[in-house]
Amino acid sequence: MPDRMPEEVKDLLERKRARHRAQAAAPLQEKVRILLELQRQDLPLIARRRPLRPWERPWDVTP
């Protein structure tokens, strides 16, 4: 990192890297759970702007 970068930015970037490392190390089941949660949040926003395309409609995967 450049020496002229403010300390707050360095700290933010390091925390971001640590979060990405933790996400990469997570088990597959947790990664899928996160993906499905993000889709549940995102798809209603898309659907308000336009109809969902056939490949965008989520599968019902809740037990």
Is residue 56 within 8 Å of 37, Cβ to Cβ?
Answer: no
- Non-local (6+) Cβ contacts of 13 within 8 A are 1
- What does the pLDDT average to over 16-25? 94
Find the mean pLDDT for residues 1-6.
70
pLDDT recorded at residue 17: 97
Residue 3: pLDDT above 80? Answer: no
* Residue keyed to tokens 């640590």: 18
Band (63; pLDDT cuts 50, 70, 90)? low
